[in-house]
Structure 1
Amino acid sequence: MISTYLNVIKPSLKHKLISFKPKLNFLNHFSSCPHDKTYSKLEQTYFSTFKKCYTKKHVTQLHAHVVQTGFSQNLFIVGKIVMFCAMSNECLMDYAVSVFDSVRSPDGFLWNTMIRGFCKKNDVKKVFGYYKLMGQNGENVDNFTLSFLVKASGEYGSVLLGRQVHCCVLKCGFEWHVHVRNTLVHMYGMVNEVWVARKLFDEMLEPDLVAWNTVIDCYVCCGEYKEGLELFSRMQAVGVRPDDATLSVVLSACAALGDLELGRWVHSIVSQSPLIKDVSIVNSLIHMYTKCGEIQEALTIFGKLTDKNIVTYNTVILGLAAHGHVQEALDVFSLMINRNHTPPNDVTLLGVLTACSHGGMINKGRKYFNKMTAEYDIKPTIKHYGCMVDMLSRAGLVNEAYDLVQNMPMKCNAIVLRTLLAGCRVHGNIELAENVKQVLLEVDPDHSSDFVLLANTYASLEDWNQVSRVRRSMTAKGVQKPSPGNSLVGLL
């Protein structure tokens, strides 16, 4: 691959990189001896030039010059190339592999960078493959190696793999390294082993802000919002000041619990600090207020924000749609597209279709659904199809909804089918309800609500014989209702 790029560069460009400056027309005049002063000068020139590389084309051209001038085994320069490939948005790991394989004696930094790149690409097999090769080549692991392995295990979602890496951490003596332990806490949160994450956190003598943020985030991501907020209170009690990451997670917990009082307290803190200009924090505030039903406060914050991004618009559109402010949601979408020229994504269209469904705007819903692929180049997901089925079922167009389900490019799930079955019940379409029930039996055969919905459809038409038949079928199949709910009235 290297020779290919060398051949691509024309003779007229041999002493000059066409994509960026500074000019390197003096490269071939330098000696390649590491002890020569010109060698060090050229090395520094390469380092400064790497800062101006932004694309694969830049790096491949510079790499060609590196090979031509005898620097292909310089670990510092080659490390820069591999780092660029591993950390770029494109994640150019194929090219990184070709560069890495050309190095005769890679150091620990190069091995770690390769592992880091495959971790970013979520290629767990390659991550642990290079880890194994690293050991076979006699290179010792360090805290960076283990942190990348722990992170890869968490993102892969494997508890077993995470525990095995944890054992490696203990064997290598890095269990008390701050960064490694924080990564372990995060990993156990990602695999829903929050009790282990908490145990690791509690063993820290003086956890830093990152550790507090990590363990709070673990609880919130695992749905244990109250415990997360209790940790936040404890964090304040010991004198650790929150940052933007802390407050974002706390606002997420407030949104999930509907804790408007604590959310407003966080808002008061943010308003008195430079964080009020942080778009991610403001987005979290908007999300919290919409979840708590305070739409006007959310819109006030939205109106004051000058640097709105796609997340800002999506949060407002979804919040308005969820609370039945249909026209306002569509107005925000129109503002986003026409005035601010912000291209929508799949989440935006999900909010728009939800608004159309709640507002009974069938024609607009069809129009936006068709625009997804034709105009916005967005591939509809199962959620978008679910919104369309819900919208058509609400309007009584259950046959059209059924046709849509049959023509979906992906396998339909039980949620969409139950939405359609509920529409059949409301509009008394027995024949279609029986068809949908048969499809549901293949997808999720033992769900009691499907039998109940079908029985209720017959009951709405006072066909009690069929109601009895469905009930008997439910008993014969051994399908039972889940444990009943209960309520507790607390006396003040």
Structure 2
Amino acid sequence: MMNSIFTLIKPPSRFKLFSSLTRSSPNPHHKTYSNKEQALLSAFKKSHTKLHIQQLHAHIIQTGFIQNLFVVGKIIVFCAVSDECSMNYAVSVFEKIETPDGFLWNTMIRGFAKMNQVDKVFCYYKMMLEDGQNVDNFTLSFLLKASGQSGSVLLGKQLHCSVVKHGLECHVFVRNTLIHMYGMMEEVVVARQLFDEMPEPDLVGWNTIIDCYVCCGKHKEALDLFARMQDARVKPDDATLVVILSACAGLGALEVGRWVHSIVDQRFLMKDISIANSVIHMYTRCGEIREALRVFGEMNGKNIVTWNTMIQGLATHGHVQDALSLFSIMINKRLGPPDGVTFLGVLTACSHGGMIKEGKQYFNRMTDEYDIKPTIKHYGCMVDMLSRGGLVTEAYDLVQNMPMKCNAIVLRTLLAGCHMHGNIKLAEDVRRDLLEVDPDHSSDYVLLANTYASLEDWNQVSRIRRSMAANKVQKPSPGNSFIPERA
């Protein structure tokens, strides 16, 4: 196969340097062997596309270096870690190697983990053990990452046992990956225990545990850990600041967010687009739209995330026309094709602005013009928009004809619309659908009872409440609030 590639593809000029050195089969004991090997390795440094790698592979086959693990390993590494990741190509190369070493096995496992092909990860791990290779810290770290992606707590605990058996539970790299794995599984208590057992966590360890809390929605705990990190005199890096900004956004901690923004400015980090996007996201979530717009306006290189964050922020806070104008600027100036998240912001704006006609047009444009397949969230926006506008029957028809199964959130949105507009017959139908999806949610009973109460149908109110008692459905514990007395 590679021979045909070699004959069809004309080698670029960069290969001329070493092609003359590698025409004959290499002899490891010959004095020119090292020169030939170095020529190939030098060519790899200048190769950045899959096409270049295929050309080099053809030369390697032609010149007899196909069993040189160091040279061939460069192909597998490229396939496993580059943006043009092609594990099928890596497999075709790997299977031709007679005696792969531990590094090549690890690289294959790493590549499949990156592609989230968990079954292949553990298949190659099993073959690696059968081949008699030793498991090291890299092997286990890649396996832990794949285990976290799988979401299987049982698999994660089994791998944790393997880490202990191999005596690597105190290895910093492995320990941090363990914490990350448990965080991905939302086993934050175990992750925290593993972190607290570390005598002197490094920066990666702090970032990992803080990110665990943020991903699990425990934003206050994340900020508390950040304060501890500062007390330990561990200097935050870019990754820390992005996670902390996310925590501030989730908690609405505007003052902490402003302070983090000041650190970003002091370090001249606003040129980093991910940090700038995080700053905008924090301000929009905290309701500081004017400040978010200022940061947005000062950014030079905006990406799709930047536009989406600003459009969504404006829409959420009721700046409907500003959100739609920003979308128009993005489209008319061809600053990037919109994606599904962009249209979520646009549909949210239309819903909040009562712009039903425009919302339908945008929904159709999303599918017809941009070939974006609507998700349950897009349909949820449409149901919300139609329900707010009193078109609850049309909203119910949309729910009935969705290409996916409707969830409880969308149905409750429709039920709230029925309550708002007093459509009791449709409310009963929606409630029956809700009982199939989430039968024991007290708010559904309460909302239907309130709908009857608004029509002064007290017999039906009593019936709903008796049904609620018979099914042993209870209201959740009430919330608490605290208003401090003024001095």
TM range (shorter): over 0.9
Specify the alignment match of 1:50 in structure 2: 44
Q: Does 1:260 pair with 2:257?
A: no
Q: Which residue is equivalent to 2:154?
A: 160
Match for residue 185 of structure 1?
A: 179
How far residue 10 of structure 1 moved from its aligned partner, in angstroms, is: 3.4
TM-score under structure 2 normalisation?
0.94
Is 1:36 the equivalent of 2:30?
A: yes
| Pairs within 5 Å for 1:404-415 | 404-415=398-409
**2:453 partner amino acid:** A
Aligned to 1:485: 479
Q: CA 1:245–1:403 in 2, change beyond 3 Å: closer, same or farther?
A: same
The aligned counterpart of 2:15 is 22
In structure 2, C-alpha distance between the alignment counterparts of 1:10 and 1:22, rounded to whole Å: 14
Aligned residue among 148, 172, 176 for 2:170? 176
CA distance in 1, matches of 2:221, 2:67: 52
What is the SS of the residue equivalent to 1:486? coil
2:211 is matched with 217
Tell me the amino acid that sits aligned with residue 195 of structure 1.
V
The answer to whether the Cα contact below 8 Å between 1:30 and 1:42 also exists between their aligned partners in 2 is no
C-alpha separation between the residues in 1 aligned to 2:432 and 2:228?
Answer: 53
Q: What per-residue deviation string (whole Å, max 9, x for no partner) do you get for residues 271-305 of structure 1?
A: 12121222111111111111111111111111111
Is the Cα–Cα contact under 8 Å of residues 5 and 64 in structure 1 kept in the other structure? yes
For residues 94 and 480 of structure 1, the distance between their equivalents in structure 2, rounded to whole angstroms, comes to 54
C-alpha distance after superposition, 1:110-147 (max 9, x if no partner):
00001101111112222122112111111101111111
2:453 matched to which residue of 1?
459
In the alignment, is residue 136 of structure 1 matched against residue 130 of structure 2? yes
Q: Aligned partners of 1:154, 1:95: CA distance in 2, in Å?
A: 26
How far did 1:340 drift? 4.8
**1:6 and 2:3 matched:** yes
* TM alignment of 1:285-434, pairs within 5 A: 285-434=279-428
Task: Give the whole-Å Cα distance in 1 for the aligned partners of 2:90 and 2:36.
Answer: 23
How many residue pairs get aligned? The number is 485
Deviation at 1:68, TM superposition (A): 2.1
Q: Deviations over 1:440-489 (max 9, x none)?
A: 12111222222222222222222223323323333333322222333344
Q: CA deviation at 1:8?
A: 4.5
Deviates more, 1:384-393 or 1:359-368: 359-368
Question: Residue 100 of structure 1: CA displacement?
Answer: 1.1
Corresponding residue of 1:98: 92
Shift of 1:9: 4.2
CA deviation digits over 1:348-380, x for unaligned, max 9?
A: 111111011001111111111111121122111
1:345 to partner: Cα distance = 1.3
Contact 2:5-2:55 at 8 Å conserved across structures: no
Q: Following TM superposition, by how much is the alpha carbon of 1:50 offset from its aligned partner in structure 2, in angstroms?
A: 2.4
Cα distance between partner residues in 2 of 1:335 and 1:415: 32
1:48 Cα deviation from its structure 2 partner: 2.5
Amino acid at match of 1:227: E
The alpha-carbon deviation at position 177 of structure 1 amounts to 1.6
Cα distance in structure 1, aligned partners of 2:142 and 2:337: 34
The CA deviation at 1:396 is 0.8
What is the match of residue 188 of structure 2? 194
1:194 alignment partner AA? V
Between 409-418 and 170-179, the greater mean CA deviation after superposition: 170-179
Are the counterparts in 2 of residues 30 and 38 from structure 1 also a CA contact under 8 Å? no
Shift, 1:414, TM fit: 0.8
Amino acid at match of 2:347: L
How far apart are residue 75 of structure 1 and its match? 0.5
User: Does the residue aligned with 1:377 lie in a helix, a strand or coil?
Assistant: coil
State TM-score, norm by structure 1: 0.94
> Is the contact made by 1:251 and 1:284 (CA closer than 8 Å) also made in structure 2?
yes
Mapped partners of 1:256, 1:152: distance in 2: 27
Identify the range of structure 1 (30-39 vs 407-416) with the bigger mean alpha-carbon deviation.
30-39
Using the TM superposition, give the Cα deviation of residue 205 of structure 1 relative to its aligned residue in structure 2, in angstroms: 2.6
Counterparts of 2:192 and 2:465, CA distance in 1: 47
Q: Deviations over 1:290-347 (max 9, x none)?
A: 1111111111111111111111111111111111011111111122222252111111
Root mean square deviation of aligned Cα: 1.9
User: Is the CA contact 1:422–1:453 (under 8 Å) kept in the aligned structure 2?
Assistant: yes
Moved more, 395-404 or 451-460: 451-460
- Deviation at 1:395? 0.5
364-373 vs 225-234, greater mean Cα deviation: 225-234
CA contact (8 A) 1:107 1:139 kept: yes
* Percent sequence identity over aligned pairs: 70
Q: CA distance change for structure 1 residues 438 and 76 in 2, over 3 Å: closer, same or farther? A: same
Q: Structure 2 CA distance, aligned partners of 1:65 and 1:126?
A: 29
**Which residue of structure 1 aligns with residue 68 of structure 2?**
74
Distance 2:324 2:78 in 1: 42
Counterpart contact for 2:22–2:36, Cα < 8 Å: no
- Residues 31 and 38 of structure 1 are in contact (CA less than 8 Å); yes or no, is this contact kept in structure 2? no
Q: Decide whether the 8 Å contact of 1:389 with 1:401 is kept in 2.
A: yes
Structure 1: which amino acid aligns with 2:4?
N
Q: 2-side partners of 1:117 and 1:28: how far apart? A: 29
Report the AA paired with residue 383 of structure 1.
K
Q: Which amino acid aligns with 2:94?
A: F
Residue type at the aligned position of 1:192:
E
Query: Is the CA contact (8 Å cut-off) linking 2:281 and 2:310 kept in structure 1?
Result: yes
Please give the per-residue CA displacement for 1:192-248, whole angstroms capped at 9, x wherever unaligned: 222222222222232221111112212222222222212212222222211111111
SS of residue paired to 1:401: helix
Mapped partners of 1:341, 1:241: distance in 2: 36
Which of 84, 91, 94 matches 2:78?
Answer: 84
Native 8 Å contact 1:216 1:249 kept in 2: yes
CA distance in 2, matches of 1:224, 1:473: 36
Change (3 A) 1:282 1:434: same
Change in Cα spacing, 1:407 to 1:89, as seen in structure 2 (3 Å) is: farther
Q: 1:274 aligns with which of 243, 268, 277?
A: 268
Between stretches 279-288 and 466-475, larger displacement belongs to 466-475
- The one-letter amino acid of 1:352's match is V
Q: Note if contact 1:151-1:183 (Cα within 8 Å) is conserved in structure 2.
A: yes
